[in-house]
Structure 1
């Protein structure tokens, strides 16, 4: 097979690394063997393999020019000839060492990388796998290696092709407890079929990465919303691709068990809820938080997600703990923002002796682009005069702030307020003129 002219290029590269020298010798005799592979075989430990490569017509026609003593290989090959020279003199080791001192985004010549991909040393292949300038076809050539570091670098590289990523998933990543399945689940190029498989991986970090991937389709996110590991569910509700119906279901489950308690300490008194083991398939629809704060962390992410439905945001806002997060959500209904403003309390203590300070809540309401002009006017009339300067600045920045308020703020003695008015896209020429006429 290794000497058969019909053998595909990728297969020849794999066979050139076979443990059997007779297989490698067959590659050296193959008339279609690529020149970089033949150059690698010139350094082979077997004399018969080296002899087969030396007699190859491609080597006779090209390699003699690479042996010139004045043409030494550069640390970072600039072109294909430099890369061939590097393979011939040191197997690409100098390139690998030099690459350690460079960042992932440092440019390398794609042709040079394609040549070096025929190298046999894992540290050379690892350096290529980390290059963001490598072509997908080059990365495909080194995907057959069993080195964990090389495979992880391939899984992390955004240039790796979907076919290669799917191949890595099929090669046993599902059962791995290491980093490989996590990196595959994070890669946006990983095909949907592979993401489906990874969503059932035993490694919870891999399932969490699938939930974080913006390429994950709705049906997988809906499946992971019932995961028995809370960290997975947290990423599902934080993913802005998750359907509103799925977010509403998660919120309903949590609130029905834990409520929207004012303080996380009250969650400690809530009863435990049993769940199934994830290994049995889709977990129970009831969540068992691993930590007392976990329900709150999920609610906080729900409150932040712009796709959360109105009913979910209203239910979370019934408790006080995540009201500020709801107020900062651009999807919050205007009437809910107005209600939270009316119920906001000044600094003080509640009936249970806890400190209450809704300054941040009011500020989030002012900054929200969905806050109605009438609500912003109410802030200016009842709170901004006795509130912190941040209220005035936030009002001056919000494009929904009524013109009358912007006109008034344009005469502020605070230069930061006037600068915010000047930046506001709703400010008229008259208001901008008033800002410029103020004493700075």
Structure 2
């Protein structure tokens, strides 16, 4: 019954606040996911010993930047990934997550609109192709970083530089004669965009 109440999209915030302290973890999980759960209740749920509850908090749009900060060092990959993808995650927390052991978290940081160009420059040196490719697609990446990534040993990274509308015309011209046809095709698709 309480779980169904917590799942109800019309459940009022004051009820969700009470249900956040429920003994049943399934109820708390539903509260953590609910779009009307108030930030103070989410902050309490962020201290849960249940990974799914903390993960739901990290993905909730109402989660405060302070709570996101507290979750950025969580032991669970999915919690940290949720923080890395959250639109309100601060640049400082994104900088910290840029050194995460998990490639998926670093790639999410590379894709985030609030990641600073200096952090993106650091991530452009990442050993994981997925991370470098994502940096190459981020519109906030320094032009000098895009120029360096245009020389990357992996053609998918170079193709991502070609697809980035922020890439300089001179860099596009260099990529237009790339040895890989897929890179050249990305240039053809994105010139003048």
Give yes or no for contact 2:162–2:183 (8 Å, CA) kept in 1: no
**Aligned match of 1:138 in 7, 15, 34?**
15
- What is the CA deviation profile of residues 266-325 of structure 1, one whole-angstrom value per residue up to 9, with x for unaligned ones? xxxxxxxxxxxxxxxxxxxxxxxxxxxxx1111111111111111221111113332221
Which runs of 5 or more residues in structure 1 are unaligned?
Answer: 1-123, 259-294, 346-354, 370-440
- Cα deviation, residue 358, structure 1: 4.6
* Counterparts of 1:357 and 1:155, CA distance in 2: 43
* Counterparts of 1:337 and 1:241, CA distance in 2: 25
Structure 2 length as normaliser, TM-score? 0.89
* Counterparts of 1:237 and 1:306, CA distance in 2: 10
Please name the residue that 1:301 is paired with.
Answer: 134
Which runs of 5 or more residues in structure 2 are unaligned?
Answer: none
1:18-29, aligned counterparts within 5 Å? none
**Aligned match of 1:187 in 60, 64, 69?**
60
* Counterparts of 2:39 and 2:25, CA distance in 1: 19
- Cα deviation, residue 133, structure 1: 2.3
Which structure has the larger Rg?
Answer: 1
- 2:115 aligned with 1:242: yes
Give yes or no for contact 2:158–2:183 (8 Å, CA) kept in 1: no
Please name the residue that 1:128 is paired with.
Answer: 5
Hey, which of these two has a bigger chunk of helix by percent?
2
- 2:139 aligned with 1:314: no
Structure 1 length as normaliser, TM-score? 0.41
* Counterparts of 1:245 and 1:168, CA distance in 2: 33
Please name the residue that 2:29 is paired with.
Answer: 152
Residues paired across the two proteins, number: 191
- Cα deviation, residue 156, structure 1: 0.8
- Cα deviation, residue 150, structure 1: 1.0
**Aligned match of 1:365 in 166, 187, 190?**
190
* Counterparts of 2:183 and 2:105, CA distance in 1: 31
- 2:87 aligned with 1:211: no
* Counterparts of 2:65 and 2:32, CA distance in 1: 15
Please name the residue that 1:220 is paired with.
Answer: 93
Change (3 A) 1:360 1:132: farther
Which structure has more relative contact order (CA 8 Å, sep 6+)? It is 2
* Counterparts of 2:35 and 2:46, CA distance in 1: 16
Please name the residue that 2:171 is paired with.
Answer: 336
* Counterparts of 1:146 and 1:217, CA distance in 2: 32
Report the RMSD for the aligned CA atoms in angstroms.
1.9
Change (3 A) 1:358 1:248: closer
* Counterparts of 1:228 and 1:359, CA distance in 2: 33
- What is the CA deviation profile of residues 6-36 of structure 1, one whole-angstrom value per residue up to 9, with x for unaligned ones? xxxxxxxxxxxxxxxxxxxxxxxxxxxxxxx
* Counterparts of 2:119 and 2:150, CA distance in 1: 19
- 2:159 aligned with 1:324: yes
Change (3 A) 1:132 1:334: farther
4+ residue runs of structure 1 moved beyond 6 angstroms?
none
